[in-house]
Amino acid sequence: MSDLTSNLTFDPPSSDKAALEEGAVFTPRFDASGLITAVVTDAADGALLMVAHMNAEALALTLETGVAHYWSRSRKALWKKGETSGNLQTVQELRTDCDQDVVWLKVSVSGHDATCHTGRRSCFYRVVATSDGSARLVDDGSVRRFDADAVYADQK
């Protein structure tokens, strides 16, 4: 859990579609829960690493520190990604989509170069396949880069 606080604030989104889509002012459109979706990819090879959520504080801290911060919906807490595992995400670039309701972080991952809490590089290590009228998950063979049970033992 990050103990930092931010002084950066965001203006409300413009009701002018042209200003929102073509303007130079960053006015993120947080949802009714105060969150914005964050898509995270590797800055070097473009691999999809994770999808998470940010509240205004997490987004501001990310912009101010250059290290990715997110909002945990399950724990209802701010967290600095990699603070426990050592797999910090350094933001190389942050983009937003046309209507500013999603952000895209291109990151470099330190430590074991793993983003998933299971120890894998990506949270997307399973393929959804259909067979005989049912959907099932098939592991893509991604190896664990660290022992998640040992790293997170104090958090259980």
Residue 48 has pLDDT above 80, yes or no: yes
Mean pLDDT of 64-84: 95
Is 33-118 CATH 3.40.50.1970?
no
Q: What is the pLDDT of residue 141?
A: 95
Pairwise CA distance, residues 48 & 69, whole Å: 17
Task: Tell me the pLDDT band of 1, cut-offs 50, 70 and 90.
Answer: low
pLDDT digit string (tens) for 125-155? 999 999 999 999 999 999 999 988 888 888 7
Report field, pTM of the whole predicted structure over 0.85? yes
